[in-house]
Amino acid sequence: MYTLTNEQRSEIIKSHLAQKKSSYNMAGNLKEYLLLNTKHDCILVEDNLKPQQIIQMCLDRNIKHIIQNSKIPLIDKINSIDEIIAHPLKFMTFNQKFYPDNDTQICFGFNSKDDRSELVNRVLNFFEIDPKNHNTEHIPKSVEELIMNAQVHAPKIGDFKSPHNMSFLAEKKGANIALSVFDDYGSMNINKFLNKILNTYTIGTADSINYGAGGAGLGSSIIFQSAEALYIAVLPKRITRVTIITPIKVRAKDREIEQKTIHIINSL
Amino acid sequence: MSRCQIKSIKKDEFQIVSFIGHIDEAFMQVATTIPASENYIFSFKNLISINSSGIREWILYTQKLKSKKVVLTDCPKVFIDQASMVEGFIPSHFQVQSFYVPYFNEETDAEKLVLVQYGTEFTKDKNSIPHEFTDTDGLKYEIDIIPSKYFKFLTKS
């Protein structure tokens, strides 16, 4: 349903490349992508890639940007990454908003001791989401995981002694929302994060569970499943930002045909 | 501190336990306060969510109930989603007595959750859960899950 023809995809890429803000390359399929000059950021614009495939491609081929057309149109996603690649350090701050022309947003700081239920409810109230509705359940699920990662897991990975700053940014535009969590531990290992997602597809959720110290190893997968587009950015020992973009309402049958997008932002 | 509250009463040979709130990384703190019994009825009517760490803690808790008779009632979608996705989330000797199935009306965007019962809409061998129904106002609702995924737990447990 969301699949574009090769001609449509090429046309969108061609018209975008003529007005892009910085030096990066774009390809409309994997074959073309592999021929790109990797000196600059390279973006793969594809179709019909399953969630597992895009994670596999990030890990195996070191691809950092894969965009697919879905309920959120391809051109909107290209415009977002265009801005981010032009100003990668800005992305590590609240100044990089997904819907900058829109005042429908909230931003709040939190710490590891704050009641997570209250934080999640704050976001749900802002979006006027009834927690009992099943077509919006991916919002509380993902907010819970994003905040738990920052509150519980991020400090442990780096063995930090003192509390750090954490913040949440929620934005809304029309039927879509962006949820971002920031922490200034900068301790996320992106490859581990991606591998945990991949494991749930390759060996199954049950066998992916970590029964040792640390997280269960399922949070990254829950976040990815909740997202139409996932953005992960780490400035080691300084900042981690994880953002998901998703329609507010997603029916189970929509999720089946959704085409996911992923971006790994290199801010260095 | 756990965000899950537990209310427990003894009725006949059953310990009836209600789980209220969120099953999370601190779940075991409250799970270990559940009185010992040979027979349990676990009610999830007021369960709001299970996070990724909660999934692990729940599985660890169920492993302590290997020789017990456990009946699960009023299982919400957040619970059934995990049951169908995570092998062993509901051990094979547990019995699901009732769970919620989500439905949707395309015209009004209205959602409904319907409680289905063991022995009526499903058993171990049959699943006659309707894929659509019409409510008393004449609104037609269609099932709002992927049946092959959502009902997977019925064939596992």
Q: What is the DSSP string of A195-244?
A: HHHHHHHHT-HHHH---SSS--S-HHHHHHHH-SEEEEEEETTTEEEEEE
Q: What is the DSSP string of A13-81?
A: HHHHHTT-SSSEEEESSHHHHTTS-TTSEEEEEESS--HHHHHHHHHHH---EEEE-SSS-HHHHHHHH
**What tokens appear for A21 in the block?**
């803000």
Q: What is the pLDDT of residue A158?
A: 64
B136 interface with A at CB cutoff 8 Å:
no
Beta strands in A120-203 (DSSP E): 166-173, 176-183
Q: What is the pLDDT of residue B124?
A: 87
- For residue B87, which residues of chain A lie inside 8 Å, CB to CB? 204-207
**Which of B5, B52, B82, B149 is the mutation pick for testing A, counting most A CBs within 10 A?**
B52
pLDDT in tens, A54-103: 999 999 999 999 999 999 999 999 999 999 999 999 999 888 889 887 77
CA distances from B96 to A70, B23, B99, B106, B130 (A): 37, 18, 7, 30, 18
Q: How far apart are CA B135 and CA B138, in angstroms?
A: 5
ipTM: 0.93
Q: How far apart are CA A232 and CA A59, in angstroms?
A: 14
Lowest mean pLDDT among A120-124, A129-133, A194-198, B73-77: A129-133
Q: How far apart are CA A250 and CA A228, in angstroms?
A: 10
Q: Please say whether the dihedral angle defined by the alpha carbons of residues B69, B53, A64 and A174, taken in this order, is positive or negative.
A: positive
Of the candidates A111, A127, A216, A118, which has an alpha carbon nearest to the alpha carbon of residue A170?
A127
Of A207, A219, A251, the CB nearest to B104: A251
B91 interface with A at CB cutoff 8 Å:
no
pLDDT in tens, A165-221: 899 999 999 999 999 999 988 889 999 999 999 999 999 999 999 998 888 999 999
- Would you call B56 and A135 a contact, using CB atoms and an 8 Å cutoff? no
- B98-105 and B110-117 as β-strands: parallel, antiparallel, unpaired? antiparallel
**Which of A121, A218, A221, A249 is the mutation pick for testing B, counting most B CBs within 10 A?**
A218
| Lookup result for tokens 């017990």 | B68
- For residue A137, which residues of chain B lie inside 8 Å, CB to CB? 77-78
> Where does residue A95 rank: exposed (0-12), middle (13-18), buried (19+ CB within 10 A)?
exposed
Q: What is the pLDDT of residue A248?
A: 96
**Residues sharing a CB contact under 8 Å with residue A228, sequence separation 6 or more, in sequence order:** A70, A71, A72, A244, A245, A246, A247, A258, A260, A261
**What tokens appear for A157 in the block?**
């990975």
Gyration radius of chain B over CA positions = 16
Instruction: Answer yes or no: are the C-beta atoms of A66 and A46 closer than 8 Å.
Output: yes
Q: What is the pLDDT of residue A162?
A: 67
- For residue A249, which residues of chain B lie inside 8 Å, CB to CB? 109
Q: Identify the DSSP state of B138.
A: S
Other C-beta atoms lying within 10 Å of the C-beta of residue B136: 5
Report the C-alpha dihedral over residues B142, A224, A175, A249, rounded to 10 degrees: 20
Percent of chain A scoring above 90 in pLDDT: 74
- Look at residue A161 and tell me whether its pLDDT is greater than 80: no
Instruction: Answer yes or no: are the C-beta atoms of A251 and A135 closer than 8 Å.
Output: yes
Q: What is the pLDDT of residue A267?
A: 61
**Residues sharing a CB contact under 8 Å with residue A97, sequence separation 6 or more, in sequence order:** A105, A169, A171, A178
Of the candidates B84, B32, B88, B78, which has an alpha carbon nearest to the alpha carbon of residue B56?
B88
Side chain identity at B122, as an amino acid letter?
A: F
- Would you call B113 and A134 a contact, using CB atoms and an 8 Å cutoff? yes
